[in-house]
Amino acid sequence: MWNKRLWHLIGGTRGGINRAKIIWFLKDRPSNANALAAHLRLDYKTVRHHLDVLRTNDIVMASGGANGYATEYSLTPRLQVHFEEFLEIWTRFRAKIDTPVPLHS
């Protein structure tokens, strides 16, 4: 079930590439939506939408704020346990990504 959910969210939807980029960025450190938007060169509202989808599906969690600029997002323990499954999906769909996201700017 978990693997199917990840496949759908990353490979089966139009926004999957951006969701994968967000997950990849958050794997090393928590971040707020504004910093994610700047790093990924995406609109803030787009990032917030993807974060909401990822939160609903227990992939990222929020802490430290009331869904505002101070809110930091990080990977859930559940995704950390299943990170190898994400890496399989990431590897297959990486070719669709125009520019790989560096780990740190």
Q: Which domain holds residue 89?
A: 2-96
SS3 75: strand
> Could you read off the pLDDT of 18-56 as tens digits, one per residue?
999 999 999 999 999 999 999 999 999 999 999 999 999
Contact 86, 23 (CB under 8 A): yes
**Overall number of domains in the chain:** 1
The answer to whether position 36 is within a domain reads yes
CATH of the domain at 61: 1.10.10.10
User: Terminal CA-to-CA distance of the chain, rounded, Å?
Assistant: 35
Against a cut of 0.95, is the pTM above it?
no
Pairing relation of β-strands 60-63 and 31-32? unpaired
SS3 74: strand
pLDDT of residue 5: 83
**Number of Cβ within a 10 Å radius of residue 92:** 12
